[in-house]
Amino acid sequence: MGIFLFVLTIVILASANLPKGAIYTGLVIELNKPMQAVVSTAILGCALYVILSLKYGPQDKHWAYGSEGTILGYWLRPSK
């Protein structure tokens, strides 16, 4: 669903009579944080599933713990 909305936004903005740079600048500004949140939520969801599931062993959970730590570190870092 998210990819569909992204492509639809591109098509709508590309069909508008705006300068080419304005389309991409506005799109990046508007979609930057929401896309970061969507990707982070997807990765955290997969990682939590692997961590909480009983069918995965300790060796299989290493990437999940690493992914969670990376995502949390990204969102908790001080702003620039």
- Tens digit of pLDDT for each residue in 29-47? 566 677 888 889 999 999 9
**Residue at token pair 């508008």:** 16
Question: Measured in Å, how far apart are the chain's first and last C-alpha atoms?
Answer: 32
pLDDT score of 77: 85
DSSP 46: H
Residue 24, pLDDT above cutoff 70 = no
Average pLDDT value for residue range 2-28: 61
CA dihedral 62, 40, 6, 21 (to 10 degrees): -110
Q: Which of 4-8, 18-22, 53-57 has the highest mean pLDDT?
A: 53-57
